[in-house]
Amino acid sequence: MKVGSLILAPGYDVYDAHLSQEYGLGRYANVVNALQFERILSASGPTMGHVERPSDKRAPRRIAFLQCVGSRDQNHAYCSAVCCMYATKEAIIAREHDREIEPTIFFIDIRAYGKGFDAYFERARKEQA
């Protein structure tokens, strides 16, 4: 069979972090998932790109990114292969919006897949120091 192109659209399901109750998503106002934080960083988002805590609308001084929630635990051996770079990007953008923010990424190990991704991660680490 001759084809001119192939479109692969496997899709994905976002992990419901409410299932990891120990982190408090849905119980604590300042616990947000990555997609919600992406909207906070967006100029067209609810805060117009200003990084602020949902609870009191004040600028946070520290932001913790928890990696591997819903994967790489006793029930899930897989790695999504995108979260590490996603968190790195969000941490860099948060600091670009407010230089006073101190982001910390908690991870098992960093998986920087792709050309130039390891250099991007190293740049983020050096900028934080």
In which band, very low, low, confident or very high, does the pLDDT at 129 lie, cut at 50, 70 and 90? low
User: If you search the block for the tokens 């792709």, which residue do you land on?
Assistant: 114
Give a yes or no: residue 118 inside a domain: yes
CA atoms within 13 A on the CB side of 94: 29
Quick check: is 10 in a domain? no
Q: Give the chain's domain count.
A: 1
Q: pLDDT tens across 81-125, in order?
A: 788 899 999 999 999 999 999 999 998 888 888 888 888 888 888
Residue 44 lies in a domain: yes
Let me know if residue 5 belongs to a domain: no
Range of the domain at 57: 19-128
Neighbours of 94 (CB within 10 A): 20
Q: Tell me the per-residue pLDDT of 7-41, one tens digit each, with 9 for 90 and over.
A: 888 777 778 889 999 999 999 999 999 999 999 99
